[in-house]
Structure 1
Amino acid sequence: MSKPQIRVLVVEDDAVDRMACRRALARDADFEFVIAEAETGGEGLRLAHGQKPDCVLLDFHLPDMNGLEFLAELRNDLGEIPVPVMMLTGADNASVAVEAMKRGAQDYLVKDVNRQYLELLPAVIQRVLRERRMLLEKQHAENKLAQAEAKYRSLVEQIPAITYTAALDVSGKLLYVSPQLEALGYLPEEWIAEVGALRSHVHPDDQIRAVEEFDRVRATGKPLRCEYRLLARNGAIVWFRDEASVVRDEAGNPLFLQGILVDISESKRVEKELREHRYRLEELVAKRTNALTKANEHLRKDVIELRRAEEALFQEKERAQVTLESIGDAVITTDAAGRVEYLNPVAAQFTGWSSTEAQGQPLQQVFNIINETSREPVESPVDRCLREGHAIGLANHSILLRRDGSELAVADTASPIHDRHGKTTGVVMVFHNVTQERKLAQQLSYQATHDALTGLINRRDFEQRLERALANARADGAEHALCYLDLDRFKVINDTCGHAAGDQLLRQLSALLLDQMRSRDTLARLGGDEFGLLLEHCHPEQAMRIAEELLQAVQQFKFVWEGKVHSIGASIGVVPVTAASESLSAVLRAADAACYTAKGKGRNRVYVYQIDEAELAQRNSEMQWVARITQALEEDRFGLFCQPIAELVPHAGERVHYEILLRMLEPDGRVIAPEAFLAAAERYNLMPAIDRWVVRRVISWLAAQPPESEQRAAIYSINLSGASLADHAMLDFIREQLILNQVPGNMLGFEIAEATAIANLTQAAHFFHEIRNLGCRTTLDNFGSAMFSIASLNVLQMDYLKIDGYFVKDIAQDRIAQALVDAINQVAHEMSARTVAGWTESPASLGALQEIGVDHVQGYVICRPRPLAELGKEQELSSPQ
């Protein structure tokens, strides 16, 4: 059986010593030594570079150079000695041989007189080669470890979330936390140094629940999935979803808790970045000693460190795997050619491809995306990322075609993966499902331009279309027409049958009017029971004919509610829209004036605008209301009604709450709804006087109630107009009335409509601040009707936020309305404000609001408005009926 060979180069000028070495090596029983010989240093260098022996036996004294010079010549371009060198020297030159070892020699033997060193020669050569081989294997393992660690670290650092590792003991000490923590204003080192850092930064209201979840995981080993708030350094509150799993070793023993914190407070925005790991192997290299006399000890330590590094790599891979398996986003990685390497479970669910099936496939085969509008293919973000070398976001309105043919709206980011040398080795793509967000955005866009009740376009969009028609008339002389339609007897049906009947009437009538129109015309609901009709490219005679047909259709329409048939009528004003038209506001005023004239001529008719007569009719109608309002103030012919605001979610210390409602009384006692006279009162600046009358009467009524009565324990909320908000004396008047009547401010509340607050934001903020200083409650009314800015909400600091009734009345059937009310409710609670849902008119709506968590409700399902004077006699008004 042949023995393994060892190629040895003997550089020795003494032939006897060369022969002695050859014989000593030939006697070895385990290896066959193949000997090459050189008598000079120059020849030895040539053979060492050319034959590349396994080992060199070098005599220190050579004819042309010494051993130190030989070692210097033997070094390669990197300054390394490519082959192990063992020095042979006399006893008197042992110190020189040690110097040679410091300069790169592997070992040395001293030539003694009895040539006993020859007996040690084979064993020493074998040991030197063994040490050399283990050193090379260690360097190879270190390089592989560094490459693998860089790849996994780059992959984890692309995830847009905070990754952490925590101990499984009671303290829950953080062993690692990713750099994304800096989004909260903290450095990872701060939390790692602090015992129980993660728990201590949980919002106080969530701490008990979060600690219970952590203890459950520690006790059972089951995965953690918990949502709670964290406090940032600047005091901001951020919601996170904590998803974590227990990592175990090969024997199944728990090691630590590996988790990920996903920011769920702001969709769509957190950038991904993980803390860079320090290279542990560089630390090991820095700690290496130059003392070759302890080579065996160092080798043992290196082997131990290598095993630790392998374990660290295993744990790093496990952490990355657990992270990718547990996050809620889809992750796909590719190689440098754009071929799929890995899909996490979410990506597999979204695409319909398993990780095994997708591996090696071109990305376009697995992640096939098209434009939502054009249905054309969209360039792969991975291709752009590989071409441009930086992170790429997916274009808006992108659709993923899944393997089964279904579609998914997605948003993603593709980022390059670099090796330790900066070379791009692949791409990691993180994407998520945005189908619901896009549907909601489309719904919001639709609601911004359409009336929520009828589905017709709203006043804002209608005025924009009318503005374009005016521009068209001025540009090319085209003729258009504007019709202003106001329903007759609608308020009678609405007051006697309820809002639900009024809403159903408006829906049916809108559908009826649409059927009578031309395809190019525009019908809009301008507010209440008023409609606008834009007839494009329509001369006055044709517009008059269309208006007459609409009027006839309305007159023939019969509305049936609860077995009763109701008839309605309409007054229609028609205005030509031509190049001579002055402005949008002038055209709208003219149409309004024409409609007033139609009403003044007996209603149920069409009237074409004539400037003198129409304006006179409008002024006369408004002035009649002004006279009636002024007389009612003088004769004290206003009445106060109240409607309870019922509590859905119990709150400690919450008091009974009523809204004060205003009615005008005819001399014969008939009640006039506010819709009939408030517009004229606002136009002619009578609202401050009316508001003062309400404030004075409510406070006087409260002062007259017995101190121990339930009426004195309740809160009464008064609506204020925009004109009163701008009246700087109103605050002084309220203070004066409270002091004069000795009524505490905490018995009163004041409501300001959202539209009024938008128009007078600074004044509204000042009023809310000052009125709260008096102890009064504040409410922002009709929220949602004007899409009030969230940033502006913080300025107002209200106690209650009343959700607009249009979102509430159909909430039991409308999922979009449920989502909007839920969103408004959450925003209000984040601002420590309680919510009130108006127009709650059915038990189904009441149940939907209770499920969402709205705090209070108000509407016919609770109680209809009653005179304030009757409140003491009917205590049951404050409880649901």
Structure 2
Amino acid sequence: MPNLVLIITGDAGDAKTLQQVLAEASDGPFAIEWVTQLSDALTRLRAGGIDAILADMWLRDSRGIDTFDQLFALAPHTPIMTLSAQDDEALAIEAVRRGSQGYLSKGHFCSYLVPQSLRNVIQRKAVEEAIFIDKARAEITLNSISDAVVGTDMAGNVDYLNVAAERMTGWRRDEARGRSVHDVMKIMNGVTRSPERNPIDLVLQENKRRDLTPGTILIRRDGSEAVIADSTAPIHDSHGQIAGAVMVFHDVTAAQLAAMEMTHLAQHDFLTKLPNRLLLNDRIAQAITLAKRRGTTLAVLFLDLDNFKHINDSLGHAIGDKLLQSVAQRLSACVRGSDTVSRQGGDEFVLLVTADRHAEDAALTANKILAALAAPHSIDENELHVTPSIGISVYPADAENAETLIKNADTAMYHAKEKGRNNFQFFKSNMNVRAVERQVIETNLRHALERQEFALHYQPKVNLASGTITGAEALLRWIHPEWGLVLPDRFVAIAEDCGLIVPIGRWVLREACAQARRWQDAGLNPGSVAVNISALEFRRTDFVDGVRAVLHETGLAPHCLELEITESVLMRDAECSSAILQQLKDMGVQLAVDDFGTGYSSLSYLSQFPIDVLKIDQSFVRDLCVTNDNGIIVSAVIAMAASLKQRVVAEGVEQTEQLAFLKAQHCEEGQGFLFSRPLVAEQFGTLLANGLGHALAAA
């Protein structure tokens, strides 16, 4: 469609010449409309559709520069060229200064340059309009987003702020323009609170993207502070040369506070505000590292309140909770700031006493605790008396890791109870009553595989919302010819210690995968089958290849296999664990952290591992109906898993009250006796065929 040109002149000869030359343009004719008066021109322009204007400024109803001013006021976005006599060139130049795109000299209208010039003017105006629209669109977009945007020139002086940046920095754009970015964006390190170098400086020097140090604080113009996260990038001109920089940042103060609060909830007991087992295990691990370097010892004290259950049952949970809070306060007063008092759950507390030169120093702390708890507790007009039984284990004499130190202290605590309670006992190796039994079990284990004495039972994992079976955990059983059914608690630890867990684990993995495929071939949908992996298996260099070989041999799809690894196994060498997990993840295998909450995993590492599932340890679920604190922990774990996009499976669901709580907290899956006890393969196949719903319906 040809461009429409409006010619405004009272000179018929000029109009005819222009019409002819524009109609014969080499790159296509123009459409022409001709009027002789300004009033007619203004009427026509109001109707729209004009692409360019050729105007004589000397008309019957308007004369001089006023002619141009009226045209430009009505059609500022339509290109206007004036028709100028030689002696009116000054007037034409004044029109250009006021917005005209140029002028054509009378007497030269028949030149081929006339249509060419007019075409160029129209195209230039169209490009300018397109650029204007793009800039307007960008401006609207940038002012619509919540992220702040700051642009600078090569000198680091601000040349742009969007609305969000004005709000966050406290500077208006017109005030900030031309100022150094260091004035407009004062930032400091969130840890040291020392001034931080603005990443724009580095971007302008290095011509590559840069990010702020995590936790960087922006100091606003009014002196208030905000934690920000950003990305800074160079701006390049049409030749690819750096011309400035742009920083995009947002306020993460609320998100950081929420993350800190969630972390605190996940690591602290809600009732007493003491560290929970998660944080305790992490601190013990750190204390062991420090003690090893300094050549010092540390002690773990496992404390259980004697007869607390009687008080809790007789006076009620409210009184019991207040008693636990009182005990927590007294325990905290008995230790130094470098020590840790934690609550494990129920009436059990664990203390970490660090930086001792002699193991016997722990006895001084234990005696202080006995004396502190001997005084009565006045709670709601009740004078309550509780005494503690305390077990003590010492690093490095009794164990070299947190898990075993706590286990040994727990064992010593039971000996304190056996010795009359209200005393403390150090752990001794002969306390292990299973020492003799261990040798017998190990001897029999060495023949169990070749005699085919092992079997797998399967316990369903259930979607709590729908009641459908989503998978099964393969649980190892030992059918001994003389002892009968032997549960894993009696032999797995021994198998791990003597190395037999590796061939046993291979058999479990192969049998579980093969059985899952048999169910699939029978038309059943078992979901994923979960297999527990021991530390020895996980650390073997051929472990990943072994998993791949079993899947290939059995024909089971990788996504139908879920490997469960405890958090303590993962954290023994977090970097190595991450590499192994990623190989399994790349294969398509699902990954789960088993017994979550009983180890000492770092939450920062946990977020980096490619984990699909967190399995809440049954100890948390078991006490849901006893105390409120584990409910808070379970809720925090569920919330944390949701933020990490991980599924949650609650283990040990045995009561409808527990189920109701988990459903209310939007826990996705559960596993436990409430749904089904572990079943042999044939029974589990029947369960898959018939489904289950009784437990969920009852809740």
Common fold: TM-score over 0.5: yes
Flag the 1:503–1:779 CA change in 2: closer, same or farther, 3 A.
farther
Work out whether 1:346 is the aligned partner of 2:164: yes
Is residue 156–residue 181 contact of structure 2 (8 Å, CA) maintained in 1? Answer: yes
Work out whether 1:797 is the aligned partner of 2:612: no
Q: 2:369 aligns with which of 550, 558, 563?
A: 550
Quote how far apart the aligned CAs of 1:531 are. 3.5
Question: Which residue number corresponds to residue 76 of structure 1?
Answer: none
* Whole-angstrom CA distance in 2 between matches of 1:572 and 1:777: 44
Is residue 200–residue 245 contact of structure 2 (8 Å, CA) maintained in 1? Answer: yes
Work out whether 1:326 is the aligned partner of 2:170: no
Cα RMSD (Å): 6.3
Flag the 1:442–1:370 CA change in 2: closer, same or farther, 3 A.
same
Work out whether 1:820 is the aligned partner of 2:640: yes
Q: Deviations over 1:566-624 (max 9, x none)?
A: 9785351354x6xxx67963999789667646645725443346xxxx33332x43434
TM-score in terms of structure 2 length: 0.56
Question: Which residue number corresponds to residue 294 of structure 1?
Answer: 112
Work out whether 1:316 is the aligned partner of 2:134: yes
Work out whether 1:750 is the aligned partner of 2:570: no
Identity %: 22
Query: Aligned partner of 1:482: which letter?
Result: A
Is residue 639–residue 663 contact of structure 1 (8 Å, CA) maintained in 2? Answer: yes
Partner of 1:585, secondary structure, is: coil
Quote how far apart the aligned CAs of 1:314 are. 1.7
Work out whether 1:428 is the aligned partner of 2:246: yes
Alignment of 1:707-786 (within 5 A): 726-728=505-507, 731-732=510-511, 735=514, 746-747=525-526, 750-753=529-532, 759=539, 762=544, 763=546, 773=556, 778-781=561-564
Is residue 514–residue 556 contact of structure 2 (8 Å, CA) maintained in 1? Answer: no
Question: Which residue number corresponds to residue 494 of structure 2?
Answer: 684
Q: Deviations over 1:310-362 (max 9, x none)?
A: 22222232232233233442112345555544321222332344445544555
Partner of 1:547, secondary structure, is: helix
* Whole-angstrom CA distance in 1 between matches of 2:658 and 2:355: 40
Q: 1:856 aligns with which of 669, 677, 689?
A: 669
* Whole-angstrom CA distance in 2 between matches of 1:770 and 1:627: 35
Query: Aligned partner of 1:455: which letter?
Result: P
Alignment of 1:574-613 (within 5 A): 574-575=393-394, 585=400, 596=411, 599=414, 602=418, 604=421, 605-608=423-426
Question: Which residue number corresponds to residue 608 of structure 2?
Answer: none
Flag the 1:537–1:856 CA change in 2: closer, same or farther, 3 A.
closer
Query: Aligned partner of 2:400: which letter?
Result: S
* Whole-angstrom CA distance in 2 between matches of 1:817 and 1:594: 27
Q: Deviations over 1:712-763 (max 9, x none)?
A: xxxxxxxxx96576334762588589989x9877458632358768657625
Flag the 1:366–1:425 CA change in 2: closer, same or farther, 3 A.
same
Q: Deviations over 1:644-663 (max 9, x none)?
A: 7243268xxx5587778899
* Whole-angstrom CA distance in 2 between matches of 1:770 and 1:300: 78
Is residue 471–residue 526 contact of structure 2 (8 Å, CA) maintained in 1? Answer: no
Work out whether 1:464 is the aligned partner of 2:278: no
Flag the 1:538–1:319 CA change in 2: closer, same or farther, 3 A.
same
Query: Aligned partner of 1:308: which letter?
Result: A
Flag the 1:339–1:796 CA change in 2: closer, same or farther, 3 A.
closer
Flag the 1:312–1:592 CA change in 2: closer, same or farther, 3 A.
closer
Is residue 341–residue 351 contact of structure 2 (8 Å, CA) maintained in 1? Answer: yes
Query: Aligned partner of 1:823: which letter?
Result: S
* Whole-angstrom CA distance in 1 between matches of 2:662 and 2:534: 25
Quote how far apart the aligned CAs of 1:781 are. 4.9
Is residue 746–residue 777 contact of structure 1 (8 Å, CA) maintained in 2? Answer: no
Query: Aligned partner of 2:663: which letter?
Result: L
Work out whether 1:847 is the aligned partner of 2:661: no
* Whole-angstrom CA distance in 2 between matches of 1:414 and 1:527: 47
Quote how far apart the aligned CAs of 1:556 are. 8.1
Partner of 2:275, secondary structure, is: coil
Question: Which residue number corresponds to residue 305 of structure 1?
Answer: 123
* Whole-angstrom CA distance in 2 between matches of 1:658 and 1:490: 39
Flag the 1:128–1:764 CA change in 2: closer, same or farther, 3 A.
farther
Flag the 1:425–1:566 CA change in 2: closer, same or farther, 3 A.
same
Is residue 641–residue 663 contact of structure 1 (8 Å, CA) maintained in 2? Answer: no
Question: Which residue number corresponds to residue 42 of structure 1?
Answer: none
Partner of 2:658, secondary structure, is: coil
Alignment of 1:669-708 (within 5 A): 680-685=490-495
Work out whether 1:617 is the aligned partner of 2:398: no
Flag the 1:815–1:405 CA change in 2: closer, same or farther, 3 A.
farther
Query: Aligned partner of 1:773: which letter?
Result: L
Query: Aligned partner of 2:212: which letter?
Result: L
Alignment of 1:45-84 (within 5 A): none
TM-score in terms of structure 1 length: 0.46
Flag the 1:857–1:600 CA change in 2: closer, same or farther, 3 A.
closer
Question: Which residue number corresponds to residue 219 of structure 2?
Answer: 401
Partner of 1:458, secondary structure, is: helix
Bigger radius of gyration: 1
Quote how far apart the aligned CAs of 1:462 are. 0.8
Which has the higher relative contact order, 1 or 2, with Cα contacts under 8 A spaced 6 or more apart? 2
Q: Deviations over 1:815-845 (max 9, x none)?
A: 8645422234x356xxxxxx64456937465
* Whole-angstrom CA distance in 1 between matches of 2:332 and 2:516: 53
Q: Deviations over 1:240-287 (max 9, x none)?
A: xxxxxxxxxxxxxxxxxxxxxxxxxxxxxxxxxxxxxxxxxxxxxxxx
Flag the 1:734–1:350 CA change in 2: closer, same or farther, 3 A.
closer
Is residue 622–residue 680 contact of structure 1 (8 Å, CA) maintained in 2? Answer: no
Work out whether 1:515 is the aligned partner of 2:330: no
Question: Which residue number corresponds to residue 275 of structure 2?
Answer: 455
Q: Deviations over 1:764-794 (max 9, x none)?
A: 5665676672999544558878588573544
* Whole-angstrom CA distance in 1 between matches of 2:84 and 2:470: 98
Is residue 393–residue 406 contact of structure 2 (8 Å, CA) maintained in 1? Answer: yes
Flag the 1:631–1:796 CA change in 2: closer, same or farther, 3 A.
same
* Whole-angstrom CA distance in 2 between matches of 1:449 and 1:436: 20
Alignment of 1:200-599 (within 5 A): 294-335=112-153, 338-356=156-174, 358-359=176-177, 362-382=180-200, 385=203, 392-403=210-221, 405-417=223-235, 426-435=244-253, 438-439=256-257, 455-456=275-276, 457-473=279-295, 480-485=297-302, 487=304, 513-523=331-341, 531=350, 533-537=352-356, 539-550=358-369, 570-575=389-394, 585=400, 596=411, 599=414
Flag the 1:461–1:133 CA change in 2: closer, same or farther, 3 A.
same
* Whole-angstrom CA distance in 1 between matches of 2:344 and 2:470: 36
* Whole-angstrom CA distance in 1 between matches of 2:89 and 2:642: 74
* Whole-angstrom CA distance in 2 between matches of 1:510 and 1:873: 47
Is residue 780–residue 802 contact of structure 1 (8 Å, CA) maintained in 2? Answer: no
Partner of 2:192, secondary structure, is: coil
Query: Aligned partner of 2:219: which letter?
Result: L
Flag the 1:430–1:628 CA change in 2: closer, same or farther, 3 A.
closer
Question: Which residue number corresponds to residue 465 of structure 2?
Answer: 648
* Whole-angstrom CA distance in 1 between matches of 2:187 and 2:465: 46
**Structure 2 residues not aligned, in runs of 5+:** 1-82, 103-109, 480-484, 572-576, 593-611, 625-629
* Whole-angstrom CA distance in 2 between matches of 1:454 and 1:764: 41
Partner of 1:465, secondary structure, is: helix
Partner of 2:112, secondary structure, is: helix
Is residue 301–residue 392 contact of structure 2 (8 Å, CA) maintained in 1? Answer: yes
Quote how far apart the aligned CAs of 1:299 are. 1.9
Quote how far apart the aligned CAs of 1:298 are. 1.8
Quote how far apart the aligned CAs of 1:795 are. 3.6
* Whole-angstrom CA distance in 2 between matches of 1:388 and 1:736: 59
Say how many residue pairs are matched: 530
Quote how far apart the aligned CAs of 1:304 are. 2.0
